[in-house]
Amino acid sequence: MKRGTPIICQALKCMLNRTNAAINTNMHPPVPYYCRRAGSSLPRAPNALGPVQPTAIVDSQEVKFTDGPFYEKHFDSREYLKAFAVDPSTRHGFLPFVLRHLHNTFSTGDLKGKKLIGLGSGPSIYIIISARKCFEEIVLSDFTTGNRREIEKWLKNDEGSFDWHPIIKFVCELEGKSRSPEEVEQKLRKIVQFLKCDVTLENPFQPEMMEPVDCITSSLCLEAACKDLETYRRAVGSIAALLKPGGTLMLTGILNQSYYFVGKQRFDCLVLTQSMVEETVKGQGFSIKLVDIQPATEEEKAGCDGDPFFYLVAQKTE
């Protein structure tokens, strides 16, 4: 037995080496939690024992979807504006894409009325610059205190308010420079008011009751506020209830997106395809008049996993 022992040990050692080599060859590298699409699963090594666990933790608690209270606590309005509201004449991407479409939509002369709502507008005013010539009143709205504070500072022209001049100038150039950026900004401050809203509620302006309006525009909001497709459908239905018959809806956003970053903070999104958006809008009593998409730039892809952008115009038929 003693003479055979070295042979047995050598055989066992050889088997262990082959097993370790196979595991090392087939083992997938770990995938960061923030890089996974919604609904995807982490890769698992063949013959590995147990699933790999995600490690992303926020405030020592796992967050399934970044909801309203999370935004209230973590969304940095000024950080968002610094990254997003950049002079559109210096780059391609989402902002010039949307500004050109909004200009084209409002410059036809067919779209006009008493009141327009910018639903879930965040700390931004870009969605209503071209609309100022078509409506007597404009309502901007958002959930978080920080976003509302940014707009209120701009409305009062307070010191330290965000400088929208480069973006307003871009729109003025689209319009043929018929008005100066200063005149446009002055007009906007006269007709804009700002309210709190929650797009996941049946009445987004609860407890205030809003009379049906002529036009609603919403950008980069619904996919960030709605945790699932049913919630998204209800939100579009609530928008329909705020519109007069024949009223116009304009939606802009990013398709196939499960997250985006503001600074180092990650926020979740409902992954939507073009067909999902169109079917939802049609299902809530709208007739789609225009849909356009544009690929995201490489720079924009660094801050989110969505692509492409979309712009949709629809009319309420019911």
Ligand-binding annotation for 34, yes or no, is no
Contact between 119 and 218 under an 8 Å Cβ cutoff? The reply is yes
**How far apart are the two ends of the chain, measured CA to CA in Å?**
91
Contact between 114 and 214 under an 8 Å Cβ cutoff? The reply is yes
3-state secondary structure of 149: helix
Ligand-binding annotation for 59, yes or no, is no
Distance CA 296, CA 300 (A): 6
Give the containing element (helix H, strand E) for 266. strand 265-268
Which token pair is 134?
């078509």
Ligand-binding annotation for 26, yes or no, is no
Ligand-binding annotation for 218, yes or no, is no
Distances (CA, A) of 271 to 58, 254, 259, 289: 21, 9, 9, 23
Ligand-binding annotation for 142, yes or no, is yes
3-state secondary structure of 193: strand
Ligand-binding annotation for 4, yes or no, is no
Ligand-binding annotation for 121, yes or no, is yes
Strands 259-262 and 265-268: antiparallel
Ligand-binding annotation for 311, yes or no, is no
Pick out the residues of the known binding site for S-adenosyl-L-methionine: 80, 120-121, 126, 142, 147, 198-199
Pick out the residues of the known binding site: 80, 120-121, 126, 142, 147, 198-199
